[in-house]
Amino acid sequence: MYQSFVGLEIHIHLLAKTKVFCSCRAAFGDEPNTNVCPVCMGYPGVLPTLNEEAIRMAYLVARALHCELAETTVFDRKNYFYPDLPKNYQISQFHSPVGTKGWFDMEFRKQQKRVRIHDVHLEEDAGKMIHAGDISLLDYNRTGTPLLEIVTEPDLELGEDAEVFLQHFRRMVRYLGVCDGNMEEGSLRCDANVSINLRGQGLGQKVEIKNLNSFKFVRKALNFEISRQEEILSSGKAVLQETRLWNENRDQTESMRTKEEATDYRYFPDPDLPPFRTDRTFLSSVEAGMVEMPLERRCRLISEYHLTESQADFIFDEKTTADFFEEAVQKGADPGTAAAWLSGDVQKLLKRTSISLSDSPLSPERFADLLTLLKEGNIHGKIAKQTLDAVFDEDRDPKEIIRERGWEQITGRNEIAEILDKVIAEHPRASEAIMGGDRKPMGFLVGRVMKATSGRAEPGMVQALLQECFEVQFAKHMEEPDAHICS
């Protein structure tokens, strides 16, 4: 009888090389307080300047989310005091964000679902506080790094659909190349607001939840919070407007503070930064950054290459994998085989060597060559796998490896027949048994031929020749019992 409403506020670290209003390096993991300057340290009298790469990425995300793009966007000061914010205000956007009124379509439990985007705005991140015993340490390297905030409308309902949305969103920003999406390093952080009400009564009293730094926590915290609010309402009490924190050790949300209103921040336009106006050159550079969106690509992988749903799920997940796959197919690899190898043996090798596909010795060209050699019968499956291993170990072309080691498959009829004759002669008891009507030793003889050729004889050809040979023998045996085998 209750209906729940969930909205997300997602912060992503943009992959710009420098901070958003100064030229300090924006990087994770550097020696504390080495990437700082008077601007990001908030010294009096200094002037911020807008990072063009960051603003372009901001517009790109807004564009990908189908937002209305602001022709003029302004920066505001959001005033509050916190030790990791040396200026005592954060430069953010309130009055005219980069993008508004967007949407993102996804599928949830076999149903189409549209999540509306309230706005996309660019701001600066705060520093990092590390609490060690009874002292607190401050690292200002992160202060002023470009942060993009994406605010959704409360169109989600559960921990589960919020989790799915966030996964789609993360994949999208990775496809766009604007964020690495690494939640452990805080490159993608998520807060949520949750309210419930009697069905049909609209939004309820909103509670904000902070600290959702993994997909699992998003799901668990939201579901916990929805149940908590249901219990409060069922017992006739009212939900308090507040900010709560997800406590991962106790698996519950806990009150942190009663929530500030927007007016508490006394937003006003930053007098140090002129409004940013888009022009045709800027907008076309934004457009140039657009790529096919992940879900569209997934559809195309299925329709164009006839991949199964699970193959497509594997290939589309990372843009680099999808690019690699399509390039290999273009260079002659069979799509189904390529997908199966990528999700199977190639994936295993990448895990074992802990490198990414794009950094691995396997190029789309080498991969296509290997699969073509396999398809055309120059090598068989087991040799192909050995060759793949060797490509990874030695960083060389499959053709070269196969040629050098003499791994080509033996498909010549005469060559195989010759080896077969020898094997049969070496195992008279096996052939006697076969002649006597017991077909079991046939497999044994095939195995011997494979062994004699180090697995290079084409198994189908060996089978066929063996069959032929004994049929001839049977026939001869009937006529003249002493006939010599296979000659």
| Site of interaction with Mn ion (CB under 5 A) | 149
Q: What is the DSSP string of 65-87?
A: TTPEEPSEE--EEEE---TT-TT
Binding site for Zn ion (CB under 5 A): 22, 24, 37, 39-40
Compute the distance between CA of residue 338 and CA of residue 334 in angstroms, rounded to an integer: 6
Instruction: Name the amino acid, one letter, at 155.
Output: D
Q: Which residues contact residue 397 at a Cβ distance below 8 angstroms, ignoring those fewer than 6 apart? A: 366, 369, 391
**Cβ proximity to Mn ion, 149 vs 161, nearer residue:** 149
**Cβ proximity to Zn ion, 36 vs 430, nearer residue:** 36
The count of other CB atoms within 10 Å of the CB of residue 112 is 8
Nearest approach in angstroms of CB 90 to Mn ion is 8
Phi and psi, residue 63, nearest 5°: -65, -45
Nearest approach in angstroms of CB 83 to Mn ion is 18
**Cβ proximity to Mn ion, 91 vs 222, nearer residue:** 91
Contacted by 22, from Zn ion, Mn ion, none: CB < 5 to 8 Å by type: Zn ion
Nearest approach in angstroms of CB 37 to Zn ion is 3
Nearest approach in angstroms of CB 55 to Mn ion is 16
Instruction: Name the amino acid, one letter, at 78.
Output: K
Contacted by 37, from Zn ion, Mn ion, none: CB < 5 to 8 Å by type: Zn ion
Contacted by 24, from Zn ion, Mn ion, none: CB < 5 to 8 Å by type: Zn ion
**Cβ proximity to Mn ion, 76 vs 149, nearer residue:** 149
Say which residue the tokens 């407007």 belong to: 241
Nearest approach in angstroms of CB 121 to Zn ion is 21
Nearest approach in angstroms of CB 120 to Zn ion is 24
Q: Which residue is nearest to Mn ion (CB)?
A: 149
**Cβ proximity to Zn ion, 24 vs 430, nearer residue:** 24
Exposure class string for 155-185: b at 16+ Cβ within 10 A, else e: bbbbbebbbbbbebbbbbbbbbebbbbebee
Contacted by 149, from Zn ion, Mn ion, none: CB < 5 to 8 Å by type: Mn ion
**Cβ proximity to Zn ion, 24 vs 222, nearer residue:** 24
Nearest approach in angstroms of CB 21 to Zn ion is 8
Exposure class string for 345-369: b at 16+ Cβ within 10 A, else e: ebeebbeeeeeebeebbbbbbbbbb
Contacted by 212, from Zn ion, Mn ion, none: CB < 5 to 8 Å by type: none
The residue count for the chain: 487
The count of other CB atoms within 10 Å of the CB of residue 3 is 15
**Cβ proximity to Zn ion, 33 vs 378, nearer residue:** 33
